Amino acid sequence: MSKTLVIAEISGGRLKKTTHSAITFAREAGFPFDILALGKGVGAAAEELRGFGAGAVLVADDALFANFVAEAFAPTVADVAKAGGYTVVAVTASSFGKDLSPRVAVRLGAGLAPDVSRVANQGGTLVYKRPIYAGNAIATMQVSTPVQVVSVRQSEFAAAAPSGGASAVSAVAASAAPNAARVQFVSFEEVKSERPELTEARVVVAGGRSLKSAENFKTVLEPLVDAFGAALGASRAAVDAGYVPNDLQVGQTGKVVAPGLYVAVGISGAIQHLAGMKNSKVIVAVNKDAEAPIFQVADYGLVADLFKAVPELTDAVKRARADR
């Protein structure tokens, strides 16, 4: 019988919301599923995972997984998949999943379906859809190997909600591999911010090159970001110009987001940027060029000078939130 193994993404002992999208994929695939949690000190994350309707929550709690190194994680994931007879191994296509999934696929001799946006179970056969050519075309694909590894787009699969019940928790052994010892974790340079993480925020305010400088990002755009309690994003053009660091880039070569509200300020809307945010629930665009492509996907558009409109919008948001 076909069944799915979902790989949880855990950082610092905390379950990341990316995992919820992989759980949604498993539910839509229609097979029974279990969840594998790897890390050091993951007891709280495993307890949280019990409420999502999995047959079991498998826990590999070991110092080997204190820091994420794909070469160290892949052997355990592959061995658990083999031992459990899983036919599908699923992970969200975050940086974690994109790094881990091909290594697991190689160890399993499995086909890989990357960056999947839809899944349909057709008589027990999974059929996938995934964007190609910066989202301008959608490919339909199947994987013919007995075991298949899938990475799923967080922006395309809604975050799963707890379904009640309490899955059993079972410990599994960590597997070491000779090549893993050749890769050493050195450090993780984490950007500290009081704002929400870009890929997990409910509201994202993003700026483009039209802001003209890093100073304008701080003085014009960031007050609006903070008024919304939002995450800050940017177009590639703004990043390339040095206005903001590249970890804030939204787009085909940056981060893919799908918040409830996306506010694009001074962003023209090149297809590479649209590929990273077009699945946002509500899109608001502010641009002085009425012909900017961003208006083709925006739910609400304002043709105006951003240096006048954004401060006014910031004041309006502050007043609205104060009246709650």
pLDDT in tens, 66-81: 999 999 999 999 999 9
Backbone angles phi, psi at 294, to 5 degrees: -60, -30
**Average pLDDT over every residue of 243-252:** 93
Mutual orientation of helices 70-84 and 95-108 as an angle, nearest 10°? 50
CATH number at residue 167: 3.40.50.620
- Please state the separation of Cα 75 from the chain's center in Å: 23
pLDDT beyond 90 at 237: yes
Please indicate, yes or no, whether residues 42 and 108 belong to a single structural domain of this protein: yes
Helices marked H in 52-165: 70-84, 95-108
Answer yes or no: is 187 within a domain: no
pLDDT (0 to 100) of residue 85: 97
**Average pLDDT over every residue of 259-276:** 94
Please indicate, yes or no, whether residues 126 and 235 belong to a single structural domain of this protein: no
The Cα 281–Cα 262 span in angstroms is 8
pLDDT (0 to 100) of residue 187: 84
| % of the chain with per-residue pLDDT over 70 | 99
pLDDT in tens, 200-222: 899 999 999 999 999 999 999 99
Answer yes or no: is 303 within a domain: yes
pLDDT (0 to 100) of residue 180: 78
Please indicate, yes or no, whether residues 19 and 76 belong to a single structural domain of this protein: yes
Question: DSSP class of residue 243?
Answer: S
CATH number at residue 317: 3.40.50.1220
Among 131, 149, 182, identify where a domain stops. 182
What 44-48 contacts at long range (C-beta under 8 Å, 24+ apart), as own/partner pairs, is 44/13, 44/14, 44/15, 45/8, 45/10, 45/13, 45/14, 45/15, 46/169, 47/169, 48/15
Please indicate, yes or no, whether residues 210 and 169 belong to a single structural domain of this protein: no
287: confidence class by pLDDT, cuts 50, 70, 90 = very high
Please indicate, yes or no, whether residues 168 and 215 belong to a single structural domain of this protein: no
Answer yes or no: is 189 within a domain: no
Please indicate, yes or no, whether residues 136 and 262 belong to a single structural domain of this protein: no
Lowest mean pLDDT among 83-87, 194-198, 267-271: 194-198
199: confidence class by pLDDT, cuts 50, 70, 90 = confident
**Average pLDDT over every residue of 123-148:** 92
Longest dimension (CA), the chain: 62
243: confidence class by pLDDT, cuts 50, 70, 90 = very high
Please indicate, yes or no, whether residues 219 and 144 belong to a single structural domain of this protein: no
pLDDT (0 to 100) of residue 160: 94
Answer yes or no: is 190 within a domain: no
Number of domains into which the chain is organized: 2
Please indicate, yes or no, whether residues 166 and 219 belong to a single structural domain of this protein: no
pLDDT in tens, 4-19: 999 999 998 999 999 9
**Average pLDDT over every residue of 286-303:** 96
Answer yes or no: is 76 within a domain: yes
Please indicate, yes or no, whether residues 60 and 13 belong to a single structural domain of this protein: yes
Answer yes or no: is 192 within a domain: no
pLDDT beyond 90 at 261: yes
Among 149, 182, 215, identify where a domain stops. 182
**Average pLDDT over every residue of 241-252:** 94
Among 182, 215, 244, identify where a domain stops. 182
Please indicate, yes or no, whether residues 157 and 55 belong to a single structural domain of this protein: yes
CA–CA distances in Å: residue 59 to residues 46, 173, 236: 7, 8, 39
**Average pLDDT over every residue of 13-37:** 96
pTM, rounded to two decimals: 0.83
CA–CA distances in Å: residue 128 to residues 35, 117, 140: 21, 7, 6
Please indicate, yes or no, whether residues 173 and 214 belong to a single structural domain of this protein: no
64 against 216, higher pLDDT = 216
**Average pLDDT over every residue of 294-308:** 97
Please indicate, yes or no, whether residues 90 and 231 belong to a single structural domain of this protein: no
Range of the domain at 260: 198-322
Query: Are the beta carbons of 37 and 60 closer than 8 angstroms?
Result: yes
Answer yes or no: is 313 within a domain: yes
23 against 183, higher pLDDT = 23
pLDDT (0 to 100) of residue 215: 97
Answer yes or no: is 191 within a domain: no
